[in-house]
Amino acid sequence: MERIRLIQVGLGFWGTSWATEVLPTVPSVEVVARVDPDPAARARIRERLGAAAGALFASLAEARRAVEADAVLASLPTNHHVPVCREALEAGLHVLTEKPFAPSLSEAIGLVRLATERGLVLGVSQNYRYYPAARRAAALVGQGVLGAPISVAIDFRRDAVAEGHRYPDIPDPLLADMAIHHVDLLRFVLGREPVEVIARSWNPPGSPFRDDASAAVLLVLEGGLVASWRGSWLSRGPATPWAGDWVIEAEAGQIEWTCRGNAGARLSADRLAIRRPGEPAEPVPLEPVPFPDRAGTIAAFAEAILAGEPPAGFPTGADNLASLATVAAAVRSAARGGARVRIAELLEAAADRPR
Ligand SMILES: NC(=O)c1ccc[n+]([C@@H]2O[C@H](COP(=O)([O-])OP(=O)(O)OC[C@H]3O[C@@H](n4cnc5c(N)ncnc54)[C@H](O)[C@@H]3O)[C@@H](O)[C@H]2O)c1
């Protein structure tokens, strides 16, 4: 089988999980080098993987000089994405980066333009797309099984204090870092683009987060379809799976679904049911996906490179701009006390000053 030769950049908490739990499961990817400036991070990977850790370097430049590669995985925090992605693309390497794509829309647009100019694949690891229930929900909506959608409601609840959240100081931990998953799923499942956003956010008493950890958002999609999203990192209620609890109401009934369980049991939370008016919910059997979660994004990335064309549903950087712009619109609306923010205005303004 053909494989892509990958340099993994970023070996922190999440990069270690990529290295030990994800990359070894994808046969179309051969890791030829790993990079982290922190010697302790490199030592940890060597200890965890032994010889399979492969060649370890302190910088991407060093790794590029030492090995032949096709692509880079940027498995590191958002504030480091742009320089790593830019260096890789300028060196002619395809790039898959962790979400959120970039700290600003203008930086993300700059990377998309660079990848397009160089004819390279640039993808964002929106891993929640690669779950059986999300795929099935998208297929049911696409086939119009219950007719046209009328409204969408999404609830996300976790108790970050009890569970241990590692980044309390990141900007907008709920809207920018977490809701990006749900907004991206909304676009993927409904097949429509968000047009405008109204949001309010707040920080519950005792919150360890610097920025607001709870929010309520209304999203108006193409065709006037309205989606409501409520989320909290500090919920006292029962936790939802990571994808949140979804209800898609349509002309002939509703689709209820969720996915992504906790670490160690990621596929255990998937479920989807159809509920017709006056009838009990009818569970729909789900088909397994060959490569779930992050294995799905990196397998699709490898396929895009090897086949010269991204497979259907692959979250390219260009596609991801709409997800990133939607959460940026929610952050702006919340900062303005719930003002209506049009997504096209943010995209146009950022496109005029790419970075
Ligand atoms: N998709 C998901 O389900 C999911 C879940 C959790 C976290 N994440 C994402 O993972 C990221 C957080 O990463 P983390 O938890 O590993 O952070 P971390 O702080 O544990 O580790 C960051 C690592 O990056 C290294 N680093 C910094 N600059 C570098 C550079 N230029 N080149 C190479 N390495 C560099 C640091 O030395 C450190 O080892 C965030 O973007 C977050 O959104 C995604």
Distance CA 169, CA 211 (A): 7
What is the average per-residue pLDDT within 191-196?
98
pTM summary value: 0.97
Which atom number of ligand 1 is nearest to the Cα of residue 41?
Answer: 39
Residue 154: name the closest of 125, 130, 126, 178 by CA. 178
Tell me which residue has its CA closest to atom 5 in ligand 1.
14
Q: How far is the CA of 92 from the centre of ligand 1 (A)?
A: 23
pLDDT in tens, 232-271: 999 999 999 999 999 999 999 999 999 999 999 999 999 9
The pLDDT score that the predictor gives to residue 355 is 81
Query: Is the pLDDT at 305 greater than 80, yes or no?
Result: yes
Residue 154: what pLDDT? 99
- Give me the pLDDT at residue 165, please: 87
14-31 mean pLDDT:
98
Q: What is the pLDDT of residue 353?
A: 82
- In this prediction, residues 303-327 reach a mean pLDDT of 97
Percent of the chain with pLDDT over 90: 97
Ligand 1: residues with CB < 6 A are 9-15, 35-38, 41, 76-78, 80, 84, 98-99, 127, 177
Query: At 110, is the pLDDT very low, low, confident or very high (cuts 50, 70, 90)?
Result: very high
Task: Please give the average per-residue pLDDT across 164-175, as a whole number.
Answer: 93
pLDDT of residue 3: 98
pLDDT in tens, 135-158: 999 999 999 999 999 999 999 999
Q: Mean pLDDT, the chain, as a whole number? A: 97
Query: Ligand 1, closest atom to CA 125?
Result: 1
List the domains of the chain with CATH numbers.
4-125+292-314 (3.40.50.720), 129-283 (3.30.360.10)
| Model confidence band, residue 1 (pLDDT cutoffs 50, 70, 90) | low
Q: Output the pLDDT for position 354.
A: 76
Distance 105 CA to ligand 1 centre (A): 20
**265-299: per-residue pLDDT in tens?**
999 999 999 999 999 999 999 999 999 999 999 99
Q: What is the mean pLDDT of residues 195-218?
A: 97
